[in-house]
């Protein structure tokens, strides 16, 4: 019997998408899951006499497609034909609609890789490091909305996945990680390449499993995918001992999921009374602001409709970029927070109503909590009950799916307009004019110094030449913040970045995952030299798979964000933040073009402002992968900046590393 390791934290265990009200049938989809009341093994015969457990849930179109594929799945094995556990595992992935995995083989996972070679539907994209594999799976999930899948061996292979699990949990990314494990009889004996990966990842996964019975594989895989994509999405680990992979079995594909406890904690449907209360608060407000986060990525259309009906300006978190079009000059305030626009932070500071949808009041957004939106009434809608009231106490809270809440709000607003013959309208034009004045007074800007290329200008140019339609991935640091500020994201899932964890080395493998998930899209990794070198080995994967990933490297020879803090708060004392060769400071080191050459990827370097447009255009026009090394000054600072723990009054809008503080 599989040991289903306990769900980790409250924040990762709650809520699937609920319906909005009993009489809003438009928003409800019903499906049935037969849950056994007895946790012991259950026979198929006994299940037929049980009354099924009814669940009200809403499925996305991709979920419906997967369910349809499950119903029409044709196995390559006869129904009563024994096969290895590894073949059962791979077929279980196929039944979940998986077409791509990112798997690196080893002794304890060899059997899974052998089974993958027998699959006609699953393609393995071979990473060159397990961290590259899990970050690629994350990029796949972020770009497509479907669970990403990565596979690694036991021991060091499994521990190399740890950063990816933590990243996926913090950013609510649906992910299924599968690891090989030493045979059951060796578990706990300090066998070669043994690590207790279930224990290691317990607090950084939504749920994890150690498979101890080969017959449980179909159920466990089904549960893992359901957990990964339902409620607040997150990562799930399945640890499979090698002898389980080798054991022969005739699988039972009709096993029910055993998630009664998880289901019991789903939030209740958003009540009409609460939604009416939100509308009343909007009608009473003079200066409302929408504060939207990653929880709105699946409800972009509903959000746009809500803004259309109410005229409320929108500020996005780092994770929420693209949920509302950034190029909408009238309503979009761009990003708020530490490196957000002055006008977005001004709007929150002066607001009398803050509509916080799909957000968690992260410290990089709020700064000093007591000063954040101190004049405003707060409405917080989130699918995770643990986030409501965790950092900031709301006046009205709704625990549920933002998509359904927005649909409900829009329905109520539409009804009110019909009843009042279109006289029920909000007028926040005076408020928006005040914010537009702030946009004029404090625009996002930068300075130029001779021939040097401002990194902000490079991103602006990329935005122009791609028409704002590219999928952008980043590493972590200054280049990440500039990419958030100066590229205009108009659709969800265009922006792939490590937000909560801030994992350097994320950009290149995430771009691989995006290119696999969205082969028709332009995919650009805007990276820094520090982040890029952390997973530079993935250039080999890009070349072998011939993925059309473009890499625009903003190379300043330093750990730029740390340098900025040194400049501002440590009297510019350099503490191991120079990444070049101290003996040859006039030379670019390492030579990024040589990395590209080693992997047979075309590359070029640009050092002068006048040559930048042509260089970026050539990168975009070259078929397949391309690396453009853009040399930028290390003195540039990401501005605006609200110092950590500060408030809006502390915002910094001037200066760089050329000034002493």
Residues with catalytic annotation? Answer: 130, 192-193, 242, 561
Which phi and psi (to 5°) does residue 64 adopt? -65, -40
Backbone Cα Rg of the chain: 26
Residue of 381, 390, 333 whose CA lies nearest to 357:
381
Q: Which residues contact 74 (CB under 8 A, 6 or more apart)?
A: none
Residue length of the chain: 661
Buried b (16+ CB within 10 A) or exposed e, 86-122: bbbbbbbbbbbbbebbbbbbbebbbbbbebbeebeeb
Q: Which of 493, 496, 466 is nearest to 484 (CA)?
A: 496
- Residues in CB range of 494: below 8 A, 6 or more apart: 321, 322, 469, 470, 471, 472
Tokens matching residue 646: 């500060």
Closest CA to 507 of 481, 542, 537, 480: 480
Unique residue bearing structure tokens 């994770």: 319
Q: Which residue has the tokens 């949990």?
A: 169
**Residue 503: helix, strand or coil by DSSP?**
coil
At 440, list the tokens: 């004029």
Do the beta carbons of residue 554 and residue 504 sit within 8 Å? no
Q: For 80, which DSSP code? A: T
Contact 561, 636 (CB under 8 A): no
Output the CA torsion sign for 122, 126, 127, 129: positive
Sign of the torsion angle spanned by Cα atoms 580, 581, 584, 589: negative
Strand arrangement of the beta sheet that strand 314-316 belongs to = 332-335, 314-316, 288-292, 353-357, 377-382, 396-399
What sign does the dihedral 414-415-419-420 (CA atoms) show?
negative
Alpha helices in 56-129 (DSSP H): 61-71, 85-95, 110-117
Closest CA to 251 of 405, 77, 107: 77
CA distance 11 to 231: 10
Report yes or no: 254 and 279 within 8 Å, Cβ to Cβ. Answer: no
Tokens (6 digits) for 534: 């952390």
Cis peptide before 330 (omega within 30 of 0): no
Other Cβ atoms closer than 10 A to 447: 11
Structure tokens at 339: 């490196």
DSSP 98: -
Helix, strand, or coil (residue 333): strand
Task: Report phi then psi at 347, rounded to 5.
Answer: -60, -45
- Is residue 206 within 8 A of residue 12, CB to CB? The reply is yes
The Cα–Cα gap between 643 and 652 comes to: 8
CA 100 to CA 159: how far, in whole Å?
Answer: 22
Q: Is the torsion defined by CA of 645, 646, 648, 654 positive or negative?
A: negative
């Amino acid at each position: 019997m599989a040991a289903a390791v306990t769900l980790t934290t409250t924040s990762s265990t709650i809520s699937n998408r609920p319906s909005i009200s009993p009489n809003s049938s438009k928003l409800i989809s019903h499906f049935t899951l037969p849950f056994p009341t007895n946790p012991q093994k259950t026979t198929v015969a006994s299940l037929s006499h049980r009354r099924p457990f009814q669940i009200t849930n809403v499925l996305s179109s991709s979920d419906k497609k997967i369910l349809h594929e499950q119903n029409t799945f044709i196995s390559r094995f006869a129904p009563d034909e024994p096969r290895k556990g590894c073949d059962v595992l791979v077929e279980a992935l196929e039944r979940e609609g998986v077409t791509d995995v990112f798997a690196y083989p080893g002794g304890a996972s060899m059997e899974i890789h052998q089974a993958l070679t027998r699959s006609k539907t699953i393609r393995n994209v071979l990473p060159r490091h397990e961290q590259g594999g899990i970050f690629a799976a994350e990029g796949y999930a972020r770009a497509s909305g479907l669970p990403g899948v990565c596979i690694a061996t036991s021991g060091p292979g499994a521990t190399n996945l740890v950063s990816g699990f933590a990243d996926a949990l913090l950013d609510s990314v649906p992910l299924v990680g599968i690891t090989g494990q030493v045979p059951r009889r060796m578990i706990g004996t300090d066998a070669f390449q043994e690590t207790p990966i279930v224990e290691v990842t317990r607090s950084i996964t939504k749920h994890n499993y150690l498979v101890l019975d080969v017959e449980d594989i179909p159920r466990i895989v089904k549960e893992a995918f359901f957990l990964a994509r339902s409620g607040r999405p997150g990562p799930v680990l399945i640890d499979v001992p090698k002898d389980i992979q080798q054991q022969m079995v005739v699988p039972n594909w009709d096993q029910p999921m055993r998630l009664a406890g998880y289901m019991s904690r789903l939030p209740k449907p958003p009540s009409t009374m609460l939604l009416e209360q939100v509308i009343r608060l909007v009608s009473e407000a003079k200066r409302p602001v929408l504060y939207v986060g990653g929880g709105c990525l699946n409800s972009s259309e509903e959000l746009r409709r809500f803004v259309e009906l109410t005229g409320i300006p929108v500020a996005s978190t780092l994770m929420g970029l693209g949920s509302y079009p950034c190029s909408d000059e009238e309503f979009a305030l761009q990003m708020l927070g530490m490196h957000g626009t002055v006008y977005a932070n001004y709007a929150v500071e002066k607001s009398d109503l803050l509509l916080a949808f799909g957000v968690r009041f992260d410290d990089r957004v709020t700064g000093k909590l007591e000063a954040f939106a101190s004049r405003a009434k707060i409405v917080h809608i989130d699918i995770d009950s643990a986030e409501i009231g965790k950092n900031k106490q709301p006046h009205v809270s709704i625990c549920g799916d933002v998509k359904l809440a927005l649909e409900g709000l829009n329905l109520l607003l539409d009804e009110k307009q019909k009843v009042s013959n279109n006289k029920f309208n909000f007028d926040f034009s005076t408020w928006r004019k005040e914010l537009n004045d702030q946009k004029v007074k404090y625009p996002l800007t930068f300075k130029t110094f001779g021939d040097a290329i401002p990194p902000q200008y490079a991103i602006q140019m990329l935005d122009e030449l791609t028409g704002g339609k590219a999928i952008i991935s980043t590493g972590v640091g200054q280049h990440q913040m500039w990419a958030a500020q100066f590229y205009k994201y108009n659709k969800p899932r265009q922006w792939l970045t490590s937000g909560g964890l801030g994992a350097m080395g994320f950009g290149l493998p995430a771009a691989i995952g995006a290119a696999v998930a969205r082969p028709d899209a332009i995919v650009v990794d805007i990276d820094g030299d520090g982040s890029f070198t952390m997973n530079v080995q993935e250039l080999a994967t890009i070349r072998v798979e011939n993925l059309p990933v473009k890499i625009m490297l903003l190379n300043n020879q330093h750990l730029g964000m740390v340098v900025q803090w040194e400049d501002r708060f440590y009297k510019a004392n350099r503490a191991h933040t120079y990444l070049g060769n101290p003996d040859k400071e006039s030379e670019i080191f390492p030579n990024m073009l040589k990395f590209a050459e080693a992997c047979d990827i075309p590359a070029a370097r640009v050092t002068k402002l006048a040559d930048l447009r042509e260089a970026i255009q050539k990168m975009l026009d070259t078929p397949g992968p391309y690396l453009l090394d853009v040399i930028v000054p290390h003195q540039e600072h990401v501005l605006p900046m609200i110092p950590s723990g500060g408030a809006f009054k502390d915002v910094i809008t001037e200066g760089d590393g050329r000034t002493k503080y």
